[in-house]
Structure 1
C-alpha cells in the first residue's frame, strides 16, 4: 500500500530527491544542474511529498507557491517499476489536499506531453502550445483547487 507523506525532515527530502534523480536524471537524461534548484533548499517555500511502499521511496512531487492563491505542481515522479499502480494519483491526491489546506484557488503545472492524459483525468486542462523544457516536450496545464 502506498503511503504519501510530506517530507518534513532531511531524510524524507533525500528520499524525494533520490526518486527524482532516478526518474529525471538517470532515466530521462535531464541535466542534474537543471533538476535541482533553489526551491529544493531546506529554507525554500516549497512542500515536498514522498510516496513510500513498505518504507521504500517510490514516488515524489513538489508544490510551490509562486503567486497568491496559486500553487505550482512540479517534479512529479514515480519509479518506472511502480508506474500503473496509482502511485501518481496518490501523490496528486496529497498535493491537492495540501492546496486545499492552504486555501489555494488554482493549481498549475508543466506536464511532459506524454503524461498530459494522466493530469487530464485528474481535472487539469491544457493551456497554450507545446514547449520544450529540459529537452523534453511539455504543455502547461491548470485546474481549480476545488474541483
Structure 2
C-alpha cells in the first residue's frame, strides 16, 4: 500500500483515523450529536467493514459497510474532510466500498444520503427511492445501486 489510498481498516490506528475524520465532519462541522454518530456497528468486533482514505499520510475520508439484508450492503458514515472536498476523494472512497461489497457477495447497495449530496451519489449510479426524511436533524433520501 502507498501513503495515498483508500483501505479497509485493519489496525487500531486506522480505526482511530477513520473515527477522527467522521467526528470532524459529522459532529464538529454538521453538529450531529455524539450519541447519534456512534453505534453498535462501530464496536471493535462489530459486523461492519470500515474504510479510511489517506493522501500522503493525511486522513481525508472514511466510510463503513455492513449487511442490511441478504445480498444487500448498507453504506454509512461516508465522509470527506472539508478541506479535501472536490478532489474526487468521495468517489475513491465509494469505489473502494463498492469493490469490497462485491467481494463480500452483495449485489445491491443502499444508503441514506444527505439531500445536499444526492447529486454526488447520482453521478455514481445511485437512484433515489421514496420520500425525503430527517435523520440526525438533517434531510436525507434513501438511494440504491445494483452492483
TM-score computed with the length of structure 2 as normaliser: 0.96
Q: Measured at CA, do residues 144 and 131 of structure 1 come closer, stay the same or move farther in structure 2, by a change above 3 Å?
A: same
Query: What's the counterpart of residue 74 of structure 2?
Result: 72
Q: Does 1:144 align with 2:128?
A: no
Segments of 4+ moved more than 2 angstroms: none
Question: Could you tell me how far apart the structure 2 residues matched to 1:70 and 1:118 are?
Answer: 21
Question: Could you tell me how far apart the structure 2 residues matched to 1:109 and 1:66 are?
Answer: 10
Question: Could you tell me how far apart the structure 1 residues matched to 2:4 and 2:115 are?
Answer: 26
Query: What's the counterpart of residue 109 of structure 2?
Result: 107
- Extract unaligned runs of 5+ from structure 1: none
Q: Measured at CA, do residues 102 and 141 of structure 1 come closer, stay the same or move farther in structure 2, by a change above 3 Å?
A: same
Cα shift at 1:133? 0.2
Query: What's the counterpart of residue 19 of structure 2?
Result: 17
Q: Does 1:92 align with 2:90?
A: no
The aligned runs of 1:3-42 (5 Å cut-off) are 3-42=5-44
Note if contact 1:70-1:106 (Cα within 8 Å) is conserved in structure 2.
Answer: yes
**SS of the residue 1:43 aligns to:** coil
Note if contact 2:4-2:57 (Cα within 8 Å) is conserved in structure 1.
Answer: no
Question: Could you tell me how far apart the structure 2 residues matched to 1:10 and 1:68 are?
Answer: 29
Q: Measured at CA, do residues 2 and 90 of structure 1 come closer, stay the same or move farther in structure 2, by a change above 3 Å?
A: farther
Query: What's the counterpart of residue 47 of structure 1?
Result: 49
Cα shift at 1:67? 1.2
